[in-house]
Amino acid sequence: MAEDKIDIKSLDYTQLQELLESMGEKKFRSKQLYEWIHKRLVLEFDEMTNLSKDMRKKLAGTCTIEGARIIKKQVSSDGTAKFLMRLSDGNTVESVLMKYKHGNSVCISTQVGCRMGCRFCASTVGGLIRSLKTSEMLDQIYEIQRTTGERVSNVILMGIGEPLDNYDNVVKFIRMLSDENGLNISQRNITLSTCGLVDRLKKLVDEKLTITIAISLHAPNDELRREMMPIANRYSINEIIDACRYYVDKTGRRITFEYSMVEGKNDSRECAMQLIELVRGLNCHINLIPLNPVEGRMGQRSKGADIQAFKLLLEKNHINVTIRREMGRDIDAACGQLRNKEKGGNYDEGIRKD
Ligand code: SAH
């Protein structure tokens, strides 16, 4: 049975060495094997031609190579491609490929569904089904490289799911993605976005990774944030800012705040002033995201003039701010939209209360 087999793509380099040793194989084979899986991105043991037939047979008998398979692709007029990927148990997630002058970025999902319940977000509809394995996160990138032939240089964890709600697998994924025996993507080119699970955030800082962290703030005070994001009932903005200071102090790196702009909700002059006070003195960057309205979910996008005024006020107060360049709007690029459509569009709230 496939379930009894070892998910070999989720094993890091050390674990792979241990596996081979336990099979009575030479240790140096692990470099070859790791490269077949994580550099050449093959999906069959039989393709590993520099390993003996006997070893390939043994591996196939005890292990599986998990794959995420593209079952749908939508290409936007700006070149952004969105993929619906099927996992081995039939669940689906989304990944997006964005082409920039400086290289290709892939946005991956970390869970099937999400239990954070943000009111404007499509991914949370239907709640959390399960977290992704390390192999399933890696293979979203591998599958895009395999099928498009495009080399991926940047990875963002901003698709479906809350990365810090799948902590161990996500940290392992980051380490394996930046392993020199694999795709060797620099941690500096990896961005993790979180709604702000404070305890996990502090733990993440202590992992001493050199990734960029982005916090989905979206509101400058707790009352408003609670209306938009149920997680705000658990952690206050002050706790989040404290964790951000911890990050900035420990790493010397700048933190990013995401602020999705919802018309008449969080786009007023007063909100801008509160936001300025909140981040004063913190080494940060604020990314304003015009809301991508999702049918049945909260809010409309702020007017262009209001977004510009908000930005100007922040700039006047010497805060680094940009308006996110929008890509793939014509292809349901807001996370979770494609998956929902495929499922027949079920817009129940789907928020777990725990
Ligand atoms: N769970 C993580 C990452 C996934 S969402 C997080 O909360 O950060 C990536 C970003 O897109 C988050 O900032 C999220 O709040 C935002 N987002 C979700 N739906 C959106 C929408 N419809 N319009 C604009 N931004 C949205």
Question: Which atom belonging to ligand 1 lies closest to the Cα atom of 301?
Answer: 23
Query: Would you say the CB of residue 111 lies under 6 angstroms from ligand 1?
Result: no
Measured from the Cβ of residue 250, the count of other Cβ atoms closer than 10 Å reads 12
DSSP helix/strand/coil, 157: strand
Query: Would you say the CB of residue 162 lies under 6 angstroms from ligand 1?
Result: yes
Residues recognised as catalytic: 94, 335
Q: Is 264 left (phi over 0), alpha (psi -120 to 50) or beta?
A: left
Q: Under a CB-based contact definition with an 8 Å cutoff, are residues 323 and 290 in contact?
A: yes
Please give the distance, rounded to the nearest whole angstrom, from the Cα atom of residue 216 to the centre of ligand 1.
7
DSSP 268: S
- Between CA 61 and CA 218 the distance in angstroms is 49
Question: Which atom belonging to ligand 1 lies closest to the Cα atom of 336?
Answer: 19
Q: Give the pLDDT score at 334.
A: 58
Q: Give the pLDDT score at 27.
A: 85
Query: Would you say the CB of residue 121 lies under 6 angstroms from ligand 1?
Result: yes
Q: Mutate which of 121, 156, 235, 302 to test ligand 1's pocket (most atoms within 8 Å of Cβ)?
A: 121
Q: Mutate which of 111, 289, 339 to test ligand 1's pocket (most atoms within 8 Å of Cβ)?
A: 289
Q: Give the pLDDT score at 348.
A: 27
Query: Would you say the CB of residue 118 lies under 6 angstroms from ligand 1?
Result: yes
Q: Give the pLDDT score at 333.
A: 56
| Tens place of pLDDT per residue across the chain (354 aa) | 456 899 999 999 999 999 999 999 998 899 999 999 999 999 999 999 999 999 999 999 999 998 899 999 999 888 899 999 999 999 999 999 999 888 999 999 999 999 999 999 999 999 999 999 999 999 999 999 999 998 999 999 999 999 999 999 999 999 999 999 999 999 999 999 999 999 999 999 999 999 999 999 999 999 999 999 999 999 999 999 999 999 999 999 999 999 999 999 999 999 999 999 999 999 999 999 999 999 889 999 999 999 999 999 999 999 999 998 766 666 655 556 667 666 643 322 222 222
- Between CA 100 and CA 96 the distance in angstroms is 13
Q: Is 135 left (phi over 0), alpha (psi -120 to 50) or beta?
A: alpha
For helices 304-316 and 269-279, give the axis angle rounded to 10 degrees. 30
Q: Give the pLDDT score at 349.
A: 27
- Between CA 290 and CA 55 the distance in angstroms is 53
190, two tokens: 């990896």
Q: Give the pLDDT score at 350.
A: 27
- Between CA 96 and CA 328 the distance in angstroms is 9
